């Protein structure tokens, strides 16, 4: 039993602000990415940091478990408790975290860690030896200068892999990359180029390892934008994607999804009319929406959220222009629409707000209120560290 | 017994990222504001939305309870359970929230709500009547165009007050304002002017009410910047201040505090060196720090945080320049310092990060790890809605 019925049982009974999840859109987003992974013959290892929900993750695997990517050890513990036992922790591992991870390994989890540093890999090996556990290690490759990792032609990749292979506590399992600069690309053409760059980087590194006589079983990559547009994944074994399950305004601006593919929204109530400044005030602010302003430099700056009616229809031209902790300020994009906004949306009206960045918005909530074919359900999340 | 001892008992035993609170700085910040409130003869009604901690709130009242301001009904419930029974909910009230609030009122809470709309006030009265409970109401005044409220000379203030006075379920208790635009002022001179404007707005509204023959018992205002610099609070009965208990980089830029007055920090670990891009990578990212970039347009843009050593000494010139969900990227402000940064801070080094906006950063955590004179304690927080 993974779903708990919402005792209140209806949208109108929910208190605001709260987090809504549209099950039909979620399923469509999941199905679409599963089709792509099948088409390219790669294993999907979804990044569960977006939803942090075992119910959402199980949907990806047809109500079963499967390999996952996590961003915190708490997620690893939470998902392992629900049967997810093949876990990649995709933030560079450090020795101080080995003791906590070792408890999971002893309980039967197959844990994979990433690093890009030789001395650190050796320190992790020493810590694993003290704990008497075994881990698998991937070397992180930097495809596009976005964040961590070694450039694909860096000779240290082979050095670290060789060192890991001679370490009894750690098994060198392969290479991984995340082309995070894909978020700076817009549209299909640019994203196809960036997706090729991501694939080439990690396949190039894998080839260098094999040329050096090392096995490289796992060749892992992924981001929602690149996976949506990639044309060739030959040489790649697995893909890690996260935000596609929900989508958001940033993804919409990138061309990854349409507004009606966004499965996540925040339910809010109009609490004040500020006619002299042209602002409608709602009870979803910087905590309920997050202060992520990821659309600020994109084609459409949605402020802190796109306004929709309570039943989910986009109200074009109404956006959250400013947020304080528990106040959101909505403005009409065209000043001439302000009077109509106040007339149409009296105090007490409920609205849905589409988020800029689903991962950040969802993190403020303990659970999702899920609109399913069988009524409203409440699905918990795993927050914190 | 309000404090629970941390079983690990030391800084080195904490896992990262986590939230640290310096008790000595907290106490100094609290004492300083208590002195100011006493000096001006106003009752402090601290805004507990910053710390969301009964331990912190009790410090303000000498280990007792007192009148508080909340930003969510969940805070009201949480603090009432610990004995705080005089509560102002400072976000415009709506009828849909009356049933939940009524449960608190029946349990003995004295609840005050704010509104700036006649029809809404009457709908709240009708809802209170259905619930058979009584509330006190304040009319919100707009001192500076920042957010909600009626301008001080708006005749609707008297109309709403009169309507409330004739409503058996609601008692008109007074007026309140929050000069939020004080965050756009910099330095003592500008903040003194803004503090006078805030005081004048709410005192002017109170006078208009008295001129109309209405009692106006409560004249409430406040923000940390204005309270820090105000020179005259005659006519004011209470002050609401929140972030001063912790302070942050935004307050430092405003001239409200010094860096060594910031009591809150995030403990993090260096997990990767990215020498080719000049970035040090830590395990505190957009969730651990928040995506609040409130210092972006201030005198010093601290990025997403100022870097300190593990023991809290500021490392000038090192800032968090970028955040992803669980990755923070630290850069040296001067490129020439990058090599020294990598040499001084090997992978595994622990650092403290000072936050831009304490309220937003703290909200990601379930508890504070508090460095007290008697060792480390863990104090819980009340998050969500």
| Chain B: residue whose CA lies nearest to A115 | B272
Pairing of strands B306-309, B279-282: unpaired
B152-186: b (≥16 Cβ within 10 Å) or e: bebeebbebbbbbeebebbebbbbbbbbbbbbebe
pLDDT tens digit string along B240-255?
Answer: 999 999 999 999 999 9
Taking CB atoms and an 8 Å limit, are B385 and A17 in contact across chains? yes
A interface test, pick of B70, B94, B248, B360 with most A CB neighbours within 10 Å: B94
Are B228 and B244 a contacting pair, CB within 8 Å? yes
Closest B-chain CA to A362: B287
Query: Where is average pLDDT lowest: A8-12, A50-54, A313-317, A330-334?
Result: A8-12
CA distance B38 to B319: 38
For residues A12 and A14, what is the distance between their CA atoms, to the nearest angstrom? 6
DSSP secondary structure letters along A252-315? HHHTS--GGG--EEEEEEEEEEETTTTEEEES--HHHH-S--TTTTSSS--BT-EEEETTS-EE
Q: How far is CA B67 from CA B30, B60, B86, B111, in A?
A: 15, 10, 5, 10
Mean pLDDT, range B69-75, rounded to an integer: 98
| 8 Å CB contact of B91 and A145 | no
pLDDT band for A1, please (50, 70, 90 cuts).
very low
Nearest Cβ partner of A180 from B286, B290, B324? B324
Best A17, A48, A91 residue to mutate vs chain B (most B CBs within 10 Å): A91
* pLDDT of A5 strictly over 60: no
Rounded to whole angstroms, the Cα distance separating B75 from B363 reads 13
- Segment A273-283 shows an average pLDDT of 97
- In chain A, residues with a C-beta closer than 8 Å to the C-beta of B286 are 292, 360
Are B360 and A288 in contact (CB < 8 Å)? Answer: no
According to DSSP H, which parts of B314-370 are helical?
Answer: 338-344, 358-362
Q: Contact B347/A281, CB-based, under 8 Å?
A: no
H-assigned helices in B166-307: 187-211, 224-229, 249-254, 286-289
Tokens of A339: 């009077």
Asked whether the beta carbons of A128 and A101 are under 8 A apart, the reply is no
Residue A281 has what pLDDT?
A: 98
Chain B residue closest in CA terms to A242: B325
Task: Indicate the residue of A151, A269, A385 with minimum beta-carbon distance to B15.
Answer: A385
**Average pLDDT of span A198-202:** 98
- Cα separation, B36 vs B336, whole angstroms: 44
Stretch A66-91: mean pLDDT, rounded? 98
B chain contacts of residue A148, beta-carbon cutoff 8 Å: 271-272, 274, 281, 327
Helix axes A156-165, A187-211, angle to 10 degrees: 50
**Percent of chain A whose predicted confidence (pLDDT) is above 90:** 95
**DSSP bridge pairs for A319:** A306, A331
- Average pLDDT, whole number, for chain B? 96
Token duo for residue A249: 């305004």
List CB contacts of B255: < 8 A, sequence separation 6 or more.
B186, B187, B188, B191
What single-letter DSSP state applies at residue B276? T
Q: At which residue do the structure tokens 């009591």 appear?
A: B263
Helical pair B156-165 and B187-211, crossing angle rounded to 10 deg? 50
Q: Which of A90, A272, A378 to mutate to test the interface with B (most CBs of B within 10 A)?
A: A272
CA B265/CA B326 separation, integer angstroms: 16
Interface ipTM: 0.96
Top-confidence residue, B291 or A10: B291
Local confidence band at B2 (pLDDT 50, 70, 90 cut-offs): very low
Q: How far is CA A41 from CA A35, A179, A210, A244, B251, in A?
A: 10, 20, 21, 19, 53
Query: In sequence order, which ranges of chain A are alpha helices (DSSP H)?
Result: 23-40, 54-60, 73-81, 98-106, 118-131, 156-165, 187-211, 224-229, 249-254, 286-289, 338-344, 358-362
Q: Count other Cβ atoms within 10 Å, centred on residue B27.
A: 15
State the pLDDT confidence band at B1, using cuts at 50, 70 and 90. very low
- Quick one: which of B326, B333, B352, B345 has its CA closest to B273? B345
**Mean per-residue pLDDT over chain A, rounded:** 96
On chain B, the residues whose CB falls within 8 A of the CB of A73 are 15
Q: Measured between CA atoms, how close is B338 to chain A, in angstroms? A: 16
Q: Which helix (H) or strand (E) holds A319?
A: strand A314-323
* Confidence band of A186 (pLDDT split at 50, 70, 90): confident
Residue A1: exposed, middle, or buried by beta-carbon count in 10 A (0-12, 13-18, 19+)? exposed
Distance from CA of A358 to the nearest CA of B (A): 11
The domains of chain B, with CATH numbers, are 23-246 (3.20.20.10), 259-378 (2.40.37.20)
How many Å lie between the alpha carbon of B279 and the closest alpha carbon of chain A?
8
Query: Which residues in chain A are contacts of B156 at CB distance < 8 A?
Result: none
pLDDT score of B9: 72
User: CA torsion angle for B101, A325, B290, A362 (degrees, to 10)?
Assistant: 50
- pLDDT tens for residues A126-156? 999 999 999 999 999 999 999 999 999 999 9
Q: How confident is the model at residue A187 (pLDDT cuts 50, 70, 90)?
A: confident
Structure tokens at B24: 């000595």
Q: Order across the sheet with B68-70: list the strands.
A: B43-44, B238-239, B218-221, B170-177, B135-141, B110-115, B86-89, B68-70
| Facing B92 at nearest CB: one of A116, A271, A363 | A271
CA A164 and chain centroid, separation: 29
Instruction: Provide the pairing of β-strand B328-332 with B314-323.
Output: antiparallel
* pLDDT reported for residue B337: 86
Quick check: A205 and A159 in contact, CB under 8 A?
no
pLDDT classification of B319: cutoffs 50, 70, 90 = very high
Cβ within 8 Å, pair B15-A291: no
Query: pLDDT for B177-205, tens place per residue?
Result: 999 999 999 889 999 999 999 999 999 99
Report pLDDT for B186.
86
Residue B73 has pLDDT above 50, yes or no: yes
Integer CA distances (angstroms), B233 to A118, A126, A219, A373, in order: 62, 63, 67, 58
The separation between the first and the last C-alpha atoms of chain A, rounded to the nearest angstrom, is 25
Q: Which residue of A has its CA nearest to B101?
A: A15
A384, B365: Cβ pair inside 8 Å? yes
d(CA B53, CA A348) in angstroms, rounded, equals: 30
Q: How far apart are CA A129 and CA A110, in angstroms?
A: 16
Q: What whole-number distance in Å separates Cα of residue B340 and Cα of residue B140?
A: 53
In the structure encoding, which two tokens stand for residue B154, read together?
């708006």
Show the CA angle centred on residue B231, arms to residues B227 and B233, nearest 5°: 70
In this prediction, residues A33-59 reach a mean pLDDT of: 98
Reading the block at residue B82, the tokens are 């610990």
Closest to B117 (Cβ–Cβ): which among A142, A324, A347?
A: A347
Task: Work out the pLDDT band at A336, boundaries 50, 70, 90.
Answer: confident
A contacts of B288 (beta carbons < 8 Å): 385
Over residues B342-369, the pLDDT tens digits come to 999 999 999 999 999 999 999 999 999 9
DSSP code at position B107: T
From chain B, the residues in CB contact with A363 under 8 A are 287, 364
Q: Average pLDDT for residues A76-88, to the nearest whole number?
A: 98
At A337, is the pLDDT very low, low, confident or very high (cuts 50, 70, 90)? Answer: confident
The C-alpha torsion from B319 through B16 and A295 to A314, rounded to 10°, is -160
Question: CA of B55: how far to CAs of B4, B78, B240, in Å?
Answer: 11, 12, 18
Cα separation, B245 vs B378, in Å, equals 17
Nearest CA in chain A to B96: A348
d(CA A109, CA A114): 16
Summarize the confidence of residues A69-77 as an average pLDDT: 98
Q: How far apart are CA A374 and CA B281, in angstroms?
A: 45
* DSSP helix/strand/coil, B138: strand
Q: Which whole number is the average pLDDT over B64-68?
A: 98
Closest to A361 (Cα-Cα) out of A293, A290, A264? A290
Mean pLDDT computed over A26-51: 98
Structure token pair of residue B368: 């504070």
Q: What is the pLDDT of residues B107-156, one digit of tens each?
A: 999 999 999 999 999 999 999 999 999 999 999 999 999 999 999 999 99
pLDDT tens figures, B205-231? 999 999 999 999 999 999 999 999 999
What pLDDT does B3 receive?
A: 47
* E strands present in chain B: 4-5, 18-22, 43-44, 68-70, 86-89, 110-115, 135-141, 170-177, 218-221, 238-239, 264-274, 279-282, 306-309, 314-323, 328-332, 350-354, 367-372, 375-380
Give the separation between CA B17 and CA A307, rounded to whole angstroms.
Answer: 34
Backbone phi and psi for residue A154, each to the nearest 5 degrees, phi listed first: -75, 125
- The answer to whether A347 and A271 are in contact (CB under 8 A) is yes
pLDDT at A226 over 60: yes
What average pLDDT does the segment A22-51 reach?
98
Contacts of B19 (CB under 8 A, 6+ apart): B264, B265, B266, B267, B361, B362, B365, B367, B368, B369
Name the nearest CA neighbour of A210 among A247, A257, A280, A161. Answer: A161
Distance CA A26, CA A23 (A): 5
Nearest to B232 by CA among B42, B69, B46, B44: B42
């Amino acid at each position: 039993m993974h779903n708990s019925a919402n005792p209140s049982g209806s949208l109108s009974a929910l208190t605001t602000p709260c987090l809504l999840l549209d099950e039909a859109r979620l399923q469509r987003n999941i199905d679409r990415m599963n089709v792509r992974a099948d088409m390219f013959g790669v294993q999907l290892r979804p990044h569960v940091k977006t939803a942090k929900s075992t119910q959402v993750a199980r949907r990806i695997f047809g109500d079963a478990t499967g390999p996952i990517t996590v961003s915190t050890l708490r997620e690893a513990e939470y998902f392992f408790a629900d049967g997810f036992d093949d876990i990649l922790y995709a933030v560079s591992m450090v020795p101080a975290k080995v003791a906590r991870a070792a408890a999971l390994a002893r309980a039967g989890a197959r844990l994979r860690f990433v690093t890009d540093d030789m001395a650190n890999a050796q320190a992790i090996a020493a810590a694993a030896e003290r704990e008497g556990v075994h881990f698998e290690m991937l070397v992180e490759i930097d495809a596009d200068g976005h964040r961590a990792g070694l450039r694909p032609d860096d000779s240290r990749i082979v050095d670290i892999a060789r060192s890991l292979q001679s370490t009894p506590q750690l098994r060198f399992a392969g290479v991984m990359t995340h082309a995070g600069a894909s978020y700076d690309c817009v549209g299909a053409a640019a994203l196809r180029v960036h997706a090729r760059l991501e694939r080439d980087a990690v396949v190039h590194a894998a080839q260098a390892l094999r040329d050096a006589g090392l096995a490289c079983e796992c060749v892992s990559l992924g981001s929602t934008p690149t996976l949506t547009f990639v044309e060739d994944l030959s040489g790649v074994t697995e893909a890690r994607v996260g935000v596609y399950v929900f989508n958001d305004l940033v993804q919409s601006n990138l061309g990854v999804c349409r507004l009606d593919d966004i499965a996540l929204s925040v339910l809010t109530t109009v609490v004040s009319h500020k006619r002299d400044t042209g602002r409608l005030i709602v009870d979803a602010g910087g905590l309920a929406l997050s202060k992520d302003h990821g659309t600020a430099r994109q084609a459409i700056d949605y402020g802190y959220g796109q306004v929709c009616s309570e039943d989910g229809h986009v109200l074009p031209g109404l956006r959250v222009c400013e947020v304080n902790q528990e106040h959101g300020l909505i403005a009409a994009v065209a000043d001439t629409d302000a009077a109509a906004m106040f007339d149409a949306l009296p105090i007490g009206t409920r609205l849905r707000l589409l988020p800029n960045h689903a991962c950040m918005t969802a993190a403020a909530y303990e659970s999702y209120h899920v609109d399913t074919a069988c009524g409203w359900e409440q699905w918990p999340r795993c927050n914190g560290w």
